[in-house]
């Protein structure tokens, strides 16, 4: 799994992630979760993406997705992405920082 995060209106990524291993994939009605580990990339001074620690997949991720048309769900499709340093558990990125319920993402997917 690969994804990049960009500032709105920009083509340049501010953060990128590439998974190396998947821990689990859960699909339960309209709720899906993917969890795993991988390598985090940040831009260098020239704006080129560089791995923070290329030798190790030392960051974990959890992607939670809700199908707005799924059972017991209403509204549009929603997603939450959370990345943290595996050993220290320090959160590097959370698209919904401060939102306690991991099973109920609020960010609508623009399709």
Task: Tell me if 70 sits within 8 A of 81, measured CB to CB.
Answer: no
Residue in the structure block whose two tokens are 């769900």: 73
Read off the pTM.
Answer: 0.80
> Higher pLDDT residue, 79 or 109?
79
Task: Tell me if 107 sits within 8 A of 79, measured CB to CB.
Answer: yes
- Exposure pattern of 72-103 as b/e (b: 16+ CB <10 Å)? ebeeebbbbbbbbeeeeeeebbebbeeeeeee
pLDDT digits (tens, 9 = 90+) for 89-106: 999 888 888 777 666 776
Confidence of residue 23 (pLDDT cuts 50, 70, 90): very high
Of 38, 35, 27, the closest CA to residue 4 belongs to 38
């Amino acid at each position: 799994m690969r994804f990049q995060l960009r500032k709105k209106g920009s083509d340049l990524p501010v953060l990128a992630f590439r998974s190396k291993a998947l821990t689990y994939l859960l699909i339960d009605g309209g709720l899906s979760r993917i969890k795993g580990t991988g390598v985090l990339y940040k831009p260098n001074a020239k704006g080129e993406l560089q791995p923070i620690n290329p030798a190790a997949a030392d960051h974990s991720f959890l992607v939670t997705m809700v199908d707005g048309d799924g059972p017991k769900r209403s509204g549009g499709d929603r997603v939450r992405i959370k990345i943290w340093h595996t050993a220290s558990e320090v959160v590097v990125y959370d698209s919904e920082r401060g939102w306690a319920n991991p099973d109920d993402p609020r960010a609508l997917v623009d399709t």
